[in-house]
Amino acid sequence: MNMDILFMRRCLELAVLSAGKTSPNPMVGAVIVYQNEIIGEGYTAPYGGPHAEVNAINQVISRFGEEQAKAYFAESSIYVSLEPCAHYGKTPPCADLIVSMGFKRAVIACQDPFAKVNGLGIQKLQEAGITTELGVLEEEARWVNRRFFTKLEKFRPYVILKWAETVDGYFSPIEGQQRWISNKVSKQLVHKWRAEEDAILVGKNTALIDNPSLTVRDWEGRNPKRVLIDKNLAVPASFSIMDEQAETIVFNAIKTDWRGHLKFVELENFDLYLPQQILYQLYLMDIQSLIIEGGKKTLDLFIQAGLWDEARIFTGAGAWNSGVKAPEIYGKEIARQAVGSDTLTVLIPS
């Protein structure tokens, strides 16, 4: 195997270890290689903390001391899954650090589209005389940071649709009652997903029928922001979605009022381009990713608008023979796997 591919694959493995912790920053992995051996590696710390390159460099310095580390760096390649930053943000520019440490070579998976980087990090490395390679496992690296790229390139969060349906294609009982389809293992997986995304959205009917808390209970991680579509503010303040376990954003047609963890956002012309309005408002709130767990009406709203990036569909083992039919969606299947007795299918737009 090409050694650049091997070491970049390790960068991507490291990057995903920070899933759900770096937003609005990207997930990045870095590996330092001396004489074809990894001597240091790191990944992005939670938002505001050191970037992957800093953690990898500090690991080498901690192991060998600064003088010996710099001697190694002069003959080493640093592999990074995203272009090193070139600007001052919460931390100093990583490109400047790589230059100051005197690396011989830098291998980068893909360019950072953020305006304050976007080629400037690569330029700094090249101007310092560092041999620079770009595009190793680029497609895979863009997939790891698909939320980050979507926000910057489409000015909206990355949208994940999620639902469960029976083996004969039913979504919920006709009478609007609560009835479980997927198994406990699938439920735990959903809670893991919640911990990895910035926000989770449901509509008014789901909130009233299921009274969900939309928190992470069966997985370790932080609760996502909760987003509720409630035109006339029909969901009582006593319901779980309104409690203090997480910030809740309520899109409505009546008022704008931000108090503590509750943020009511009035949308003008509420029924006109509703999904577009919601996604743009969430973009302005720096929300990078959104998982939609709403009812059929809410899911169809985003499907029909073409505003989705990934659909995760559980198919349970049981048949109902009647009920509300599951949403219809068409896309490219990229994964299918068993989750206990359920089958999980993942689609992306074709």
161 is in an annotated binding site: no
194 is in an annotated binding site: yes
Other C-beta atoms within 10 Å of 210: how many? 18
Q: Which residues contact 237 (CB under 8 A, 6 or more apart)?
A: none
191 is in an annotated binding site: no
Q: Hey, what are 330's tokens?
A: 């068409």
11 is in an annotated binding site: no
51 is in an annotated binding site: yes
110 is in an annotated binding site: no
Catalytic, out of 37, 41, 53, 75: 53
Instruction: Clarify whether 13 is annotated catalytic.
Output: no
Q: Hey, what are 266's tokens?
A: 């009035």
180 is in an annotated binding site: yes
Instruction: Compute the distance between CA of residue 224 and CA of residue 331 in angstroms, rounded to an integer.
Output: 27
320 is in an annotated binding site: no
Stated as kind and residue range, the H or E segment containing 15 is: helix 3-15
3-state DSSP assignment of residue 134? strand
The answer to whether the CB of 246 falls within 8 A of the CB of 224 is yes
The answer to whether the CB of 292 falls within 8 A of the CB of 161 is yes
Instruction: Compute the distance between CA of residue 285 and CA of residue 147 in angstroms, rounded to an integer.
Output: 15
Name residue, tokens 């009920």. 323
Chain center to CA of 259: 27
217 is in an annotated binding site: yes
Can you name the residues that pair with 337 across neighbouring β-strands? 344
**Strands (DSSP E) along the chain, which ranges?**
29-34, 37-43, 76-80, 105-108, 131-134, 158-165, 170-172, 199-203, 225-229, 248-252, 257-259, 262-266, 289-292, 310-315, 324-325, 332-339, 342-348
Nearest to 214 by CA among 232, 231, 195: 195
Nearest to 167 by CA among 6, 323, 350, 57: 323
3-state DSSP assignment of residue 210? helix
Nearest to 147 by CA among 136, 134, 157: 157
Annotation: binding site:
51, 85, 94, 164, 180, 194, 206, 210, 214, 217, 293
Binding residues for substrate: 194, 206, 214, 217, 293
Residues of the binding site for Zn(2+): 51, 85, 94
> Which positions are catalytic?
53
Q: What are the binding residues for NADP(+)?
A: 164, 180, 210
